[in-house]
Amino acid sequence: MKKLITNIAQLVNIREKNQLLRGSDLKILPSLSNAYLLINNGAIESYGSMDELNAGITEAAETIDAKGSFVMPCWCDSHTHLVFAASREEEFVDKIKGMSYADIAARGGGILNSAAKLNAMPEETLYQLAKERLWKAIKTGTGAIEIKSGYGLSVAGELKMLRVIKRLKREAPIPIKATFLGAHSYPLEYKENHQGYINLIINEMLPVIAHEKLADYIDVFCETGFFSPEETEIICKAGIKIGLKPKIHANQLNLSGGVQAGVKLGAVSVDHLETMDEDTIKLLAASKTIGTLLPTAAFFLRMPFQPARQLIDAGCAIALASDFNPGSSPSYNMNLVVAMSCIQMKMLPEEAMNAATINGAYAMGLENEAGSITVGKKANLIFTKPIPSLAYLPYSFGENLVDSVMIEGTFL
């Protein structure tokens, strides 16, 4: 049966046509006040003003009174590492005491710490833990998500992670994209033998990934002390050969050349971008590559925030994502990401919402299913608690203003 949602205070992010938003288009967030929304078979069938609601529509549907909620498309979180074995709050405390992210990585902590624990964990346990986290994220309003491997750093570990993600794809109610991030760090035994690990990725991991269809994207942590732009190119090109599109970890800690490598490779997105200069911003703005900003990672690592204003003003297409992972962003909460983007990066609420929905959907190739109120897209929706305006959401940061979440037309 159809479902009719009535008395929506504001239906947010209505779009007749899909469009990746860049520059000044980001601040336009089309919305309709006092609206209804009709759902058929889990998908958006139509919407309009309550004044236009007629018996033809109401009689054929079960009615749900939104009672003045704002209704928005669910968040599209295009960058997460939500499959991991264990949290790392001991490193968090070490950082409070003065160690840096790089110091911790150099002593075998960080990503390598996560990898050791993940390799020791049975696939079933890993799956259950990931599933729990995914459901928590969905309940905060995430309605489409990308998940990376990268805590295996061994053939068995990487494949185990990707199989967990594949099972989540099959069993979870929201669209999921999988990214192969075997090149997240060099494992200790390959520290002096980069070519050996790259060979392992290309000759041992990628063929199985292709055969079992385990990934949609390929990612590399292009960073000083991790993978160079040249290594990034070699690895991504091998991924492209088996049909994976690149999404790169770029310019987090240094001007690493990651954005240049990503643009050259035609990457879907370059993610992080804490460390940018004018030339790099210009290059990104002139490309088709999306810049995905991860403000909670900058916040957690006490780094300067991404230069969102300069990026937007230069004409870049910007997405926002959580980077949910145990080392640099232990939060899956996209409401917080949006708030932080407005508070610390001076993004307008409209810009942040667009970047966290429709542009996030583009950053994972889900723009035909998610990210806006568009006929035919999934009815994955956030219903807010009573709020005076949309800007109240990021303004009242830390308050849970998500009243309920609907996935394919069904409340959780």
Interface ranges with ligand NIG (CB under 6 A)? 110-111, 114, 221, 249, 252, 297, 323, 325-328
- Distance, in Å, from the CA atom of 294 to the CA atom of 300, rounded to the nearest integer, reads 10
45 binds Fe ion (CB under 5 A): no
Closest approach, Cβ 313 to Fe ion, in A, equals 25
Q: What share of the chain is helix, strand, coil (3-state, %, to 5)?
A: 40, 25, 35
Nearer to ligand NIG (CB atom), residue 80 or residue 380: 80
Q: Among all residues, whose Cβ is closest to Fe ion? A: 323
Q: What are phi and psi of 180, to 5 degrees?
A: -85, 115
CA distances from 368 to 33, 44, 47, 214, 371 (A): 24, 12, 18, 22, 8
Q: What are phi and psi of 85, to 5 degrees?
A: -85, -35
Nearer to Fe ion (CB atom), residue 187 or residue 326: 326
Nearer to Fe ion (CB atom), residue 210 or residue 303: 303
Closest by Cα among 230, 212, 211 to 222: 230
Task: Pick one of ligand NIG, Fe ion, none as the site partner of residue 232 (Cβ within 5 to 8 A by kind).
Answer: none
Task: Pick one of Fe ion, ligand NIG, none as the site partner of residue 221 (Cβ within 5 to 8 A by kind).
Answer: ligand NIG
Tokens of 288: 């088709």
Strand order in the sheet with 142-148: 75-77, 142-148, 176-183, 217-222, 245-250, 269-272, 290-293, 318-320
323 binds Fe ion (CB under 5 A): yes
- Distance, in Å, from the CA atom of 212 to the CA atom of 155, rounded to the nearest integer, reads 14
Task: Kindly determine how many residues on this chain lie close enough to bind Fe ion according to the rule CB under 5 A.
Answer: 1
Nearer to ligand NIG (CB atom), residue 253 or residue 405: 253
Closest by Cα among 158, 132, 114 to 326: 114
Closest by Cα among 141, 140, 117 to 129: 117
- Distance, in Å, from the CA atom of 217 to the CA atom of 248, rounded to the nearest integer, reads 10
233 binds Fe ion (CB under 5 A): no
Closest approach, Cβ 219 to ligand NIG, in A, equals 9
Nearer to ligand NIG (CB atom), residue 38 or residue 218: 218
Q: Among all residues, whose Cβ is closest to ligand NIG? A: 327
Task: Pick one of Fe ion, ligand NIG, none as the site partner of residue 312 (Cβ within 5 to 8 A by kind).
Answer: none
Closest approach, Cβ 327 to ligand NIG, in A, equals 2
Nearer to Fe ion (CB atom), residue 133 or residue 385: 133
Task: Pick one of Fe ion, ligand NIG, none as the site partner of residue 289 (Cβ within 5 to 8 A by kind).
Answer: none
- CA torsion, ordered 278, 284, 147, 251, to nearest 10 deg: -30
Closest approach, Cβ 296 to Fe ion, in A, equals 11
Q: Which of the stretches 41-49, 130-138, 169-177, 321-329 binds Fe ion when contact is defined by CB under 5 A? A: 321-329
Q: Which of the stretches 63-71, 113-121, 320-328, 397-405 binds Fe ion when contact is defined by CB under 5 A? A: 320-328
Closest approach, Cβ 283 to ligand NIG, in A, equals 21
Closest approach, Cβ 100 to ligand NIG, in A, equals 12
146 binds Fe ion (CB under 5 A): no
Closest approach, Cβ 316 to ligand NIG, in A, equals 19
Closest approach, Cβ 221 to Fe ion, in A, equals 8
**β-bridge mates for residue 180, sequence order:** 218
Closest approach, Cβ 197 to ligand NIG, in A, equals 16
Closest by Cα among 32, 67, 27, 25 to 46: 32
Nearer to ligand NIG (CB atom), residue 22 or residue 88: 88
Task: Pick one of Fe ion, ligand NIG, none as the site partner of residue 307 (Cβ within 5 to 8 A by kind).
Answer: none
Closest approach, Cβ 85 to ligand NIG, in A, equals 11
Closest by Cα among 4, 32, 2 to 372: 32
Task: Pick one of ligand NIG, Fe ion, none as the site partner of residue 327 (Cβ within 5 to 8 A by kind).
Answer: ligand NIG
Helices (H), 140-272: 155-171, 194-199, 206-212, 229-241, 258-265
> At CA 25, angle to CA 343 and CA 324, rounded to 5?
45
Tokens of 45: 């069938």
DSSP 51: G
Question: Binding residues for Fe ion, per CB under 5 A?
Answer: 323
